[in-house]
Each structure stands twice: as structure tokens, then as C-alpha cells.
Amino acid sequence: MEIFTTEGVTDGYKRAMTKLWSEYWRDEIMNNPTRYLKDVHNDLKEEFLKWHSIRKTVKKYKYVFVVINPKKLVTIQELQKKVNKVISKKWLTSYIYSYEQRSTNIKEMGKGIHINLLIELTKDKSPYSVKDDVYKTFKLYVGNRKHVCIRYSNNPTNFINYILGYKKGDDKLKQVSIDKKWRDKLHLSHYYLSTPPSFLTISLNKIIEDKLRS
């Protein structure tokens, strides 16, 4: 749902809002929203300030979990090149990711390929902008922004569990089983982890140790 609406306003107003919403002005507005919106209609100003508050909250998060859903005909090799481009970004300090599919049976194995990527961000990177960066990298392969989904957290444990295949529900567990067979067939690792060791590495090792003990 779009935050701004231009229904019932003048062409000049529409042009002004377009300018405000451009890539160039986005960070400027975030730093001082009142200055740039002092002449904006009160209802729109209120909605914008709500959006601004959400973005300030999101900035506090250290980890971003990204699910990338490519088109059907995209190959693993094409996806690998794009993933490598994302994980080479300077705003990323560590990562763990896996390739998955959504089939629960051997006959349809490989259906619904997607990537689960957990990123640890540098201090100066806004989590809110991660979706933009990932979408731009995968744009030709996903087609639509809605096919890049993100969640934020300061605790990576649940996301790491998910990537490792520690899931709940019969269908999810069936998918995990088929995932392993599918990856083996394509000579893919069950997950990929950044080096050198990071907090994600420590968390991952602890999770695996706990699972082995249980």
C-alpha cells in the first residue's frame, strides 16, 4: 500500500511529491522531515511522519533476513552469480544463506526455488534500504519487488534455525527432506557461511551443538 496519494490535488503538488519521493531526496527528507514537509497537506504530513518513525525504529536492527523468489526459468548458476554480488557488498559484515525449493515430494523436486539469506549489517547501513539493494541486484530474475521479502531482528537465532532446516509442521519437514536430496543432486552445499568467523558463526555452532545434545 502506498503511503502517499495524489488524488484530488493539483499538478504542481503532484510534481512536488514526486520530487520528494525520488531517490535523491529520500535521505535528505529522513534527516529533517519537518523542514521538507512544512507546506504539505496535514493528512499527508501525518502519514509521512508515521513512516519516518517506522524507518527510525528499523534502523536499530542489526540483522536482515531476506527471501528471494526468482522466476521459474532462472537457473541456479544465474542465481549464484547474483548472490555472490550481494554478499560482496561493503555494508555486509557476515552472512549465511541456503538454496531451497518448495516441493514436498520427489516427483516435483526443484519446484519453487528460492534463496534464504541472513545478513549482519555494518553500523552505517539502514536495514530499510537492504530490500532496495537486493531487488536491484536480482531485478531481472525476480521481476517484481514483492518477490524480495525481508524481516528484521537483533537476534539471528530463529533465522539460523530456519536456514539449517530446523522447522516445524509436517509440510515444512517434508520440504526439508526434499531440499537435502535436491541440493545433493545439484552439488549444492546445505548452507553457505561467511568467513572469517563472526557472531553468526558462533550462533550457528551453538545451535548445532544444542541439536546434537537433544
Burial track 131-146 (b if 16+ CB lie within 10 A, e otherwise): eebbbebbeebbeeee
Question: Cis (ω within 30 of 0) for the bond into 70?
Answer: no
**Residue 4 confidence (pLDDT) above 50:** no
pLDDT tens digits, residue range 148-190? 999 989 999 999 999 999 999 999 999 999 999 999 999 999 9
Flag whether pLDDT at 57 surpasses 70: no
63-213 — its CATH code? 3.30.70.100
Delimit the domains of the chain by residue range.
11-58, 63-213
Contacts 24+ apart (CB under 8 A), 87-92: 87/117, 87/194, 89/133, 90/122, 91/121, 91/122, 91/124, 91/125, 91/133, 92/119, 92/120, 92/121, 92/122, 92/125
Q: What is the distance in angstroms between the CA of the first residue and the CA of the last residue of the chain?
A: 44
Over residues 60-85, the pLDDT tens digits come to 788 999 999 999 999 999 999 999 99
Asked if residue 97 has pLDDT above 80, the reply is yes
State the pLDDT at residue 200. 79
How many angstroms separate the CA atoms of 141 and 75, rounded? 9
* Greater model confidence, 128 or 43: 128
Higher confidence at residue 200 or residue 47? 200
In this structure, are residues 207 and 161 in contact, taking their beta carbons and an 8 Å threshold? yes
Distance CA 156, CA 52 (A): 25
What is the torsion angle, in degrees rounded to the nearest 10, for the CA atoms of residue 44, residue 149, residue 64 and residue 26? Answer: -30
Per-residue pLDDT, 53: 54
Q: What is the pLDDT of residue 41?
A: 53
Q: Please state which of the ranges 11-20, 80-89, 105-114, 188-197 shows the lowest mean pLDDT.
A: 11-20
Model pTM?
0.71
pLDDT at 6: 45
When pLDDT is cut at 50, 70 and 90, the band that residue 143 belongs to is: confident
Predicted local distance difference test score (pLDDT) of residue 60: 73
